[in-house]
Structure 1
Amino acid sequence: MDHIVHHTTLRTSATTNKRTQKNVYFKMENQQKTGAFKFRGASYKLMRLTDEQLACGVITASAGNHAQGLALAAYKLGVKATIYMAESTPDAKVEATRGYGAEVVLIGESFQEAYEASVEHQKKCGATYVHPFDDYDIMAGQGTIALELLEQESRIDTIMVPIGGGGLISGIAVAAKSVKPNIRVIGVQAASAAATHTAYHEGAVKKLDKVSTIAEGIAVKQPGEKTLPIIRHYVDDIITVSEAEIAHAIIYMLERGKTLVEGAGAAGLAGLLSHNDKIDSRHCGVIVSGGNLDISKLSHIQALARQLKPEVSHKALVL
């Protein structure tokens, strides 16, 4: 897939290294085509479909980044794409998806409602369904991130990965451990959308009634049926972060790293910063999964970040 997707950069930060007392490596998937890692899985999935399947068009539901990834992958192949998205999806993600030529249907308060509506429509239209995370080909495409990461820095012993439905962490965990069996993979969820965290630690799958987080890219009400067994088998731990911790990570990346990261993309860093003392790592990889942030939300994000203790959110460190 090297000629299709960007081989994204691996960045370091003296500030972050000093703050965490670890060597931290940011895998910048916010610089991937469409601004997020999702283009990897969508491209690989479409490459695996037959001409007959592609001729029927493709359909999906998405929190926003999978929508853009699939829309662009479909456009490159001349395939019709229909995308269902929650009504709360940031305008930037909706317009970008339309800009890649896809038909967008806005429905429901969260991904789950959009997903259910898209499944019903698929039964009527006969398009090929491309699930955003609960699909082995999608997971395999996302797993290429881990292969690149370990090629770029072989000393990495831990990878921090955001979790929504689990497609990203499933692909990364399987790929990383195929190369380096002893590597630790730690998932990070928003505390207000922690269905996979609950299923992983308590053993019970519970569908959340409501999810509300600034990390809309990982606002999923229940883990995938295919991803959860993989997560249970290959992932070493799952932690949660608060809205303030996610917001702080966004602002931190903007101020210290001079890079724009969305809530889901900041979750891995938020997990590292807030759970640093419990993470035993010398060389820690952080997946910066996306950068499609609605700029109009920045003032709200700044206000959330201020809720952290001043010594946490405003550590004065030299770059």
Structure 2
Amino acid sequence: MISLDDIRAAAQRIAPHIRHTPVIELTAVPDPVTEAQLFLKLENLQCTGSFKARGATNKLLSQPPGAVSKGIVTASGGNHGLAVARAARSAGVPATVYVTESATEEKREKLRRSGAEVKVLGKIWNEANEAALEQAERTGAAYFHPFADPMVVAGQGTVALEFLDAVPNLDTVIVAIGGGGLISGMSVALKALNPAIRIIGIEPEGSPTLKASLDAGRVVRLESVTSKVATMSCGETDPGVFALVRDNVDEIVLISDAEMEDAAAWLWFELGIAADLSGASAIAALRSGKISLPADARAGALVCGAGLDGVAL
């Protein structure tokens, strides 16, 4: 699907249009989540509040002239929609974002304020996506897929380049999974630059999309999605994404929605970081013991999205 060269090209392309987000070492907390050194990359401070701005921007800047003249349409759990709305605004065209019923009201309101037309449809992303594809076909609008698009995946992979620049000797990286675009893009860069690095994915217990596919040896459609975390819920991944994850990701662990809620509250209380539940997933996996790191490990994790989940709690 993509290579390290594609990710490096994306990094150059999007550099003037996104933020180089900070990395902090998690220290001076009374209740450490691990004995290892843990570095957090704060993509919650990225434009639109998540890493998704990288992929949507790379997709927009890769389009031929006039490709988005009739607007942009997508389906999203919230964060990709915000990134697409920003891309559409910069191109001076309308955006339509289909979101699932589980998308938080906070994300919906941010989408409206960003100028997007918001349409709520379906219990899972795949249902909302079918409607988005139909509208794109009917109207001629450009369709921006949140994960099954090489330009989007390459854009997300730029997170890994920045992370390794900041902490060159990371030995483990923990990444949240929704449809798989982030972890597939990052894994290509991480393994190309350090084949020995350990990559751990995190999925909700109620949406084990990639883990179920890896266990089956092929892409499978989940019979049901019960997680309420819209940004990490997807009934079926893409074959290209699946292949990258199969080849590069070492392990996938499952965590509960409640564990993510607890972690989001912890991030807000201890660090003043307002993370959505996906952004708290790495901390959730560590606090719950689903991921155990040796004391001498140097691990990296993303706070991949902003939100008020922990603040509300």
| TM-score (normalizing by structure 2) | 0.90
Find the partner of 1:45 among 59, 66, 85.
59
Task: Name the aligned partner's letter for residue 28 of structure 1.
Answer: L
Aligned to 2:7: none
Is residue 57–residue 155 contact of structure 2 (8 Å, CA) maintained in 1? yes
Aligned to 2:156: 142
Aligned to 1:226: 240
Task: Name the aligned partner's letter for residue 304 of structure 2.
Answer: S
1:161 and 2:175 aligned: yes
CA distance change for structure 1 residues 70 and 210 in 2, over 3 Å: closer, same or farther? Answer: same
Is residue 200–residue 238 contact of structure 1 (8 Å, CA) maintained in 2? no
Aligned to 2:124: 110
SS in 1 for 2:24: strand
Is residue 170–residue 298 contact of structure 2 (8 Å, CA) maintained in 1? yes
The CA deviation string for residues 172-224 of structure 1, in whole angstroms up to 9 with x for no partner, is 10111222222111100011111211112332433223323242210111122
Is residue 214–residue 263 contact of structure 1 (8 Å, CA) maintained in 2? no
The CA deviation string for residues 247-275 of structure 1, in whole angstroms up to 9 with x for no partner, is 22111111111111111111122223334
SS in 1 for 2:165: helix
SS in 2 for 1:20: coil
Q: 1:204-215, aligned counterparts within 5 Å? A: 204-215=218-229
Deviation at 1:61, TM superposition (A): 0.5
Task: Name the aligned partner's letter for residue 166 of structure 1.
Answer: G
CA distance change for structure 1 residues 109 and 283 in 2, over 3 Å: closer, same or farther? Answer: same
Deviation at 1:146, TM superposition (A): 0.4
Deviation at 1:57, TM superposition (A): 1.8
Identify the range of structure 1 (210-219 vs 35-44) with the bigger mean alpha-carbon deviation: 210-219
Q: In 1, Cα distance between the equivalents of 2:174 and 2:216? A: 21
SS in 2 for 1:94: helix
Is residue 89–residue 216 contact of structure 1 (8 Å, CA) maintained in 2? yes
Q: CA RMSD in A?
A: 1.9
Identify the range of structure 1 (226-235 vs 264-273) with the bigger mean alpha-carbon deviation: 264-273
Q: In 2, Cα distance between the equivalents of 1:16 and 1:283? A: 20
SS in 2 for 1:161: strand
Q: In 2, Cα distance between the equivalents of 1:249 and 1:277? A: 14
Deviation at 1:89, TM superposition (A): 1.5
Find the partner of 2:26 among 4, 8, 13.
13
SS in 1 for 2:254: strand
Q: In 1, Cα distance between the equivalents of 2:290 and 2:240? A: 30
1:190 and 2:204 aligned: yes
The CA deviation string for residues 264-305 of structure 1, in whole angstroms up to 9 with x for no partner, is 11112222333466445610000111012357x934xxxxxx
Aligned to 1:4: 17
Find the partner of 1:203 among 191, 212, 217.
217
Is residue 143–residue 171 contact of structure 1 (8 Å, CA) maintained in 2? yes
More helix by share: 1
Deviation at 1:124, TM superposition (A): 0.7
1:285 and 2:265 aligned: no
Is residue 86–residue 110 contact of structure 1 (8 Å, CA) maintained in 2? yes
Q: In 2, Cα distance between the equivalents of 1:183 and 1:162? A: 17
Task: Name the aligned partner's letter for residue 282 of structure 1.
Answer: A
Give aligned-pair identity as a percent.
35
Q: In 1, Cα distance between the equivalents of 2:158 and 2:290? A: 26
Q: In 2, Cα distance between the equivalents of 1:122 and 1:16? A: 51
| TM-score (normalizing by structure 1) | 0.88
